[in-house]
Amino acid sequence: MASAAPASGSAEPTLGSTRLHPRMAGIYCSSHTWPRQQLRYHALPRTAPVPAVPHYTGPLLTRDSADTLRRAHDKGAAEWQGSLDLGRSQDSVVLDADGFHFRGQPYPWPGKLKDRTLYYWDGEDFAPISRYSGSLIKLVPTEWGAPTFEIDGIKMLPTSKLSPFEDARRKVELVAPAGKVILDTCGGLGYFAACALEAGVGQIRSFEKNADVMWLRTLNPWSPDPDSAAAGGRLQFSHGDVSQQIEQVASNSVDAILHDPPRFGIAGELYSQVFYAPLARVIRKGGRLFHYTGAPNKLTSGRDVPREVAKRLEKAGFKAELALDGVLAVKR
């Protein structure tokens, strides 16, 4: 993937036929062309970003929200005020015998919906936000608005005590993201990235290995859109396995790392000494790393995964301590 540096006085830099946001230009263009503050971004891997997929803007239904709309209509209401995007906004929804109108578009009344399931309009019907490609991956509503997701019934984000989005915000705050270049190893639904963007991150480079999880993001209004005005070109999101992509990241090139791997039993390699060595290589001295661990196996096997992780990170060159439901480490 090549790009020519623009001549003096030329137009904005491009990647092939794609115009680059100025903040991202330093990743792709030769270093002598750009101001010094952009050179630090050059070191991140040059894998192709995810092709732009418009985020879904239609209604998202649960069994409860569909029942609420029906009851309002049955009581004679011609209009209902509320949220059909998981609490991100409030809308006026017009109700009639055939269905409802949301943001100017008509939709039929849905058929029978299942509990703990989110539905989107696929152009023909309200379909569940789930896919099966060897594993069943599903977006799951929560009482907090922001959804979680499950893989084969295993919940991937904590939701019992607070919103998964608020949980992500607390963890992101530990690395003080403002103005920094951050590596987000396992993007998931993108809540770490969204909170880092809110907190003024300079640039965040995020990887996600599972294409079905990436599809969930396009339907989740709480997941950040890399092409949105709010992202401002600061989020580069790629389909890739971080255990491989990390080799393309230059040494001492990132200020902080957010490492939120799947559970130890699913992705043990992302908790290994072999993986921690390149993490230590790419982060600058004094840089902070937050590593989610949870406490898997502790009750059944007696293993203390957070402390095992802390010891491995110490061996890799970090000073580590337990924090929240993981480990906070600082590069020595």
What percent of the chain has pLDDT above 70?
83
Whole-Å CA distances, 183 to 125, 259, 316: 38, 8, 17
Q: What is the per-residue pLDDT for 298?
A: 64
pLDDT higher than threshold 80 for residue 165: yes
Average pLDDT rounded to a whole number, residues 72-78: 98
Strand partners, 181: 203
pTM of the full predicted structure? 0.83
Q: Which two tokens stand for residue 182?
A: 């951050």
**By three-state DSSP, how is residue 69 classified?**
helix
In this structure, is residue 231 part of a structural domain?
yes
| 66 vs 287: CA distance, rounded Å | 47
What percent of the chain has pLDDT above 90?
74
Q: What is the per-residue pLDDT for 21?
A: 37
Kindly calculate the radius of gyration of the chain based on its CA atoms and give it in whole angstroms: 22
Average pLDDT rounded to a whole number, residues 91-117: 97
| 284 vs 90: CA distance, rounded Å | 43
Spacing of C-alpha 98 from chain mean position? 37
Tell me how many helices (H) and strands (E) the chain has.
Answer: 10, 20
Contact 221, 55 (CB under 8 A): yes
Structure confidence by residue, pLDDT tens digits, 188-242: 999 999 999 999 999 999 999 999 999 999 999 999 999 999 999 999 999 999 9
| 80 vs 69: CA distance, rounded Å | 7
Average pLDDT rounded to a whole number, residues 93-105: 97
Average pLDDT, the chain: 86
In this structure, is residue 4 part of a structural domain?
yes
Q: What is the per-residue pLDDT for 51?
A: 53
pLDDT higher than threshold 80 for residue 141: yes
Q: Which two tokens stand for residue 181?
A: 């270049």
Q: What is the per-residue pLDDT for 287?
A: 98
Same domain, 38 and 171: no
Backbone dihedral angles phi then psi of residue 230, each to the nearest 5 degrees: -65, -35
Contact 165, 197 (CB under 8 A): no
Same domain, 169 and 315: yes
Number of domains in the chain: 2
Contacts of 285 (CB under 8 A, 6+ apart): 252, 331, 332
Same domain, 192 and 326: yes
In this structure, is residue 61 part of a structural domain?
no
Spacing of C-alpha 318 from chain mean position? 25
Contact 160, 148 (CB under 8 A): no
Reported as a pLDDT band with limits 50, 70 and 90, residue 170 is very high
The answer to which of 149-163, 234-248, 314-328 has the lowest mean pLDDT is 149-163
Q: Which domain holds residue 289?
A: 164-331
In this structure, is residue 82 part of a structural domain?
no
pLDDT higher than threshold 60 for residue 44: no
Reported as a pLDDT band with limits 50, 70 and 90, residue 62 is very high
The CATH number of residue 316's host domain is: 3.40.50.150
In this structure, is residue 290 part of a structural domain?
yes
DSSP state, residue 332: -
First-residue to last-residue Cα distance in the chain: 35
Backbone dihedral angles phi then psi of residue 276, each to the nearest 5 degrees: -70, -25
Reported as a pLDDT band with limits 50, 70 and 90, residue 319 is very high
Structure confidence by residue, pLDDT tens digits, 245-284: 999 999 999 999 999 998 887 888 999 999 999 999 999 9
Contact 102, 91 (CB under 8 A): yes
In this structure, is residue 106 part of a structural domain?
no
Q: What is the per-residue pLDDT for 5?
A: 36
In this structure, is residue 254 part of a structural domain?
yes
In this structure, is residue 134 part of a structural domain?
no
Backbone dihedral angles phi then psi of residue 85, each to the nearest 5 degrees: -130, 40
